[in-house]
Chain A
Amino acid sequence: MLLMFDDKHKNHLSFLTDIDISVLQEFCKISIEFIKKGANTKVYQSAAQKLGVSAETVQNGVEGLMYLLTESSKLMINEIDFQDSILTLGFSEEMRQALLELYLDRRKEVRAILNQMSMELPHYHNLEWRFDVELASRSLRHQVTPTVTMKLHTEENGTTSTQVLQTDPTNLVHLTSVLEEALQEIKSPYCRRIVRNIK
């Protein structure tokens, strides 16, 4: 699928069509830094001075480049589509190559950063277990009660929380077998077909 650019975006990017390759590459680096860490206005100032244009134009250019990258990473478009999309923008052949390289190199990083913004459920982190046998308590002496105590570590948005749980051997065996079944389910032909067909 192709990216659609609106006019504002095209305007911002049109500034970049007139510059040298090396400067373009600089801009690429700056936009990557922008995606990773945020805007750096000093750099804009210095670049604007060097190139003899206003800082705003520089910023627009960088933002446009960044938006191009994020959109293409989000949609995970392949090379051909990417190249076709940027044909309309008016870049030269070598600039297009540079942009393609940039896209292909940085695609995974950008996706990882985008992933952090998405919603997250508390997910499993670690499980510690231990086996105890209760031999006596204040109210009943001479008992043999095996128990398995577990500490479940879950992580959500960077914070780990732990929970102490307990179970007995029968339930543990049941738990293990049910979860094993679940694990086998993903290898069943039905799931495989779905995975194959959804691309």
Chain B
Amino acid sequence: MEEVDNIILHSLRSIGCEIDEDVVSLKEFNTEAIVACSVRCIKTIHGDVDLPNTLPSAMSAKFRMGTSLANHLQELGYRGDVGYQTFLYSSEADIRKIFMFLVDKLPKEVVETTEEILGSSVLLQRNIANTLSRQLSSPWVPSSLKHKGIAWRGKPPTWQREGTCCSFHFHSCNVSAPEGSGDLSKKIPKALKSYYQTNLPFITCQTQDYNDIVPSVLEKNAADVTAQMEWENEWNQSGLASRLSQQEYRDRKRQRILKRITDQLRQDRQRSEATSGSGSSQDLQQMLASMGGRGTGSAKTKGSRFTHSEKLLFAKDDDKAISEVTTVLPAGQTEEEKQKEREEEVNGLKDELTSLTSRLDDLDLEVKKFTASIQQMEEQISNQNRSNSEKEDGYKVKKRTLDLLPDAENNIAKLQSVVDSSAQRLINLASQWEKHRAPLINQFRDLKELSSKTESEAQLKLEEIKEFRKKMKQVQDDARGKEELAKQLHSEYERMTKDVNRSAYTKRIMEIVTNIKKQKMEIDKVLVDTRAVQKEINQLSGKLDRQFTVTDELIFRDAKKDESVKKAYRYLASLHESCELLINTVEETGVILREIRELEDQIESEGHKKVLANLEKISKDYQQIKKENDTLIKKIKGKS
């Protein structure tokens, strides 16, 4: 009962009913409190209900209010007998029921407003609303009193921007800082190290404009991070597949890029030479050669030397361009003769050039002709040599046969045996070769299999590595997301109101449920027992009846003849009657005991209803109404 009262009081307090602090149970509610709270409840449920908040003093008004409250309650769906008397002359049990009903109707509206979806957009809106209300309510300060356009306001001083006099653009310059100065495994060249120690200024002094420091630092970090990520991506995809170490992969990449640049430059140089006709690009050639030479040199720290040579290259190009431009400038504006001279010179030189080139072409042609004829001659010579050697061989064979002809038969036999023996030798050698060849071929096959296996294994391992990296990234992302979620939920949890101890209530409810289950079991047991006892009683009474009829008949038959048997029969009859009487009285006692219990219960419940107090109240109110009626009648009579 206390918990129910607690819950009711708590909900009533939360909707705004004014209840004294030391009111702990519904017993202590007086009529005014009851009326006020129920009016409050009805107003919260319905909205605008035309009821005064407190109980008026006039009796008739009280009566009217009571009936209207009862009507409202019935409209809301309260099943039960309710009239003005339930509010004005109340009993505890009735009030408890009514308040439980009202409070039950309440929470659905109240709870909905406190249950908000705390998503990030709502959080953002709340943030914006808070900042805005803070700024709207802060007093205005003239701009001369604000330092750099910032005003500090509030208890934990927070800043807000109210002027843009000190804004500046995001402008970043190149800044540098030492790298690896504490890492003993990396070797920094001495010159670089001394530069780091003595000449390199601190990072905050490296930019010309002081405002650029933070943007430059942020940009440098962003560039480095992007370069790192790009390198990781590239390494994951093509670097691992190439199966070189990191350093070798980088070297190979650098060489490829250098080669492409030299090729491109060479092509451009040739193209530019063809169009302009000027020849001297000695410097460029030198640079290209030296670049190609340097590229195959030892590995250096990536980037710096490469950019250095690139810069030099383009510097030379610029120089060449500048020199070309300066020679083309028309300088002879002062004297036309000089210009004519120069023109003549130029023309003469041009003619020489054309003649020289034509001669060069002719000579080229001749050289080509000669080389062609040389080739022809060489072919003829080789043909001749071949035919010579063939003829020599043929001559030798014929000479031999001629020598051997006189001793023909012997020689033929000898030759035959020589042929046989050489054929035998061939067969021997072939078999030996086979013997050698077979194991070697097996070895070759084995090694091939081994290498292909290792290749496939390496392939598998590479794929596994890729998988692992992917998983790592996924897990990292998941972890990040979960951390954010945890933060959000944590902040939500801290913000939720904890004034109603839900876990205690739930525990209590579970206890009550188990209790009820136990009680139900016990009731069932008792019922079973009762039924068993009832069955026994029935059995026994049935047995008794049968026994009695049997004995009765038995003795009655014999009673006609014998006196003692008649006496016995009479005794039997009286025994039976008295036992029946006993049984009846026992039953009646049981019935009366039950009635006593019921009456006691009724007395208790009637006692709770405070009938006496209410009766007094009613009689008092009745007297009051009578008095009011009399006064009203007097007034009417007085007026008329």
Contacts and interface: CB of A to CB of B under 8 A. Distances in A.
Q: Within the complex, are A and B direct neighbours (CB within 8 Å)?
A: yes
Interface stretch (B133-141, B287-295, B420-428): B133-141
B161 interface: yes
Contacts of B127: 144
A166 B151 CA distance: 17
Contact of B140 (A138, A139, A145, A174): A174
B135 A170 contact: yes
A4 interface: no
Given A139-B170, A146-B131, A169 B136 contact: yes
A171 B162 contact: yes
A168 B139 CA distance: 13
14 contacts: A133-B128, A135-B124, A139-B214, A139-B218, A146-B128, A166-B164, A168-B135, A168-B161, A168-B162, A170-B135, A170-B136, A170-B160, A171-B140, A173-B140
Interface in B151-194: 151, 160-162, 164, 170
A174 B135 CA distance: 12
Contacts of A135: 124
Contacts of A168: 135, 160-162
Contacts of A169: 132, 135-136
Interface in A151-175: 166, 168-171, 173-174
Contacts of A139: 170, 214-215, 218
A79 B568 CA distance: 155
B170 A138 contact: yes
Contacts of B136: 169-170, 173
A144 B128 contact: yes
A173 B139 CA distance: 9
Nearest to B140: A174
Interface in B425-469: none
Interface in B62-83: none
Nearest to A142: B127
B219 to A, nearest CB: 10
A168 B163 CA distance: 8
Contacts of A170: 135-136, 138-140, 151, 160, 162
A174 B131 CA distance: 17
Interface residues of A, number: 14
Given A168-B162, A173-B140, A146 B132 contact: yes
A11 B214 CA distance: 84
Interface in A121-152: 133, 135, 138-139, 144-146
Interface in B194-229: 214-215, 218
Contacts of B214: 139
Contacts of B132: 146, 169
B138 A145 contact: no
Interface in B99-137: 124, 127-128, 131-132, 135-136
A135 B121 CA distance: 12
A159 B574 CA distance: 135
Interface of B: 124, 127-128, 131-132, 135-136, 138-140, 151, 160-162, 164, 170, 214-215, 218
Nearest to A131: B132
A171 B215 CA distance: 29
A144 B131 contact: yes
A168 B146 CA distance: 14
Interface in A59-92: none
Contacts of A166: 164
Contacts of A146: 128, 131-132, 135
Contacts of B140: 170-171, 173-174
Contacts of A145: 161
A133 B151 CA distance: 18
Nearest to B133: A169
Interface string A111-123: 0000000000000
B391 to A, nearest CB: 93
Contacts of A144: 127-128, 131
Nearest to B164: A166
Nearest 6 A/B pairs, CB to CB:
A174-B140, A169-B135, A144-B131, A169-B136, A144-B127, A168-B162
A187 to B, nearest CB: 24
A144 B127 CA distance: 8
A173 B133 CA distance: 12
Nearest to A177: B140
A3 B151 CA distance: 63
Given A133-B128, A170-B135, 6 more contacts: A139-B215, A146-B132, A146-B135, A169-B135, A170-B136, A170-B160
A135 B127 CA distance: 11
A166 B115 CA distance: 38
B55 to A, nearest CB: 47
Interface centre among B124, B128, B135, B214 (most CB of A within 10 A): B135
A144 B160 CA distance: 10
A139 B135 CA distance: 23
A171 to B, nearest CB: 6
A95 B214 CA distance: 86
A168 B218 CA distance: 28
A144 B218 CA distance: 21
Nearest to A172: B136
A181 to B, nearest CB: 13
Nearest to A175: B140
A169 B136 CA distance: 6
B197 to A, nearest CB: 32
A33 B132 CA distance: 59
A129 B417 CA distance: 122
B538 to A, nearest CB: 85
B268 to A, nearest CB: 39
Contacts of A133: 128
Nearest to B218: A139
Contacts of B160: 168, 170
A171 B149 CA distance: 12
B623 to A, nearest CB: 64
A173 B162 CA distance: 12
Contacts of B161: 145, 168
Nearest to B139: A170
A45 B217 CA distance: 84
A174 B139 CA distance: 8
B135 to A, nearest CB: 4
Contacts of B138: 170
Contacts of B128: 133, 144, 146
Which of A133, A135, A166, A169 is packed against the most chain B CB atoms within 10 Å? A169
A145 B131 CA distance: 8
Contacts of A173: 136, 140
A144 B162 CA distance: 13
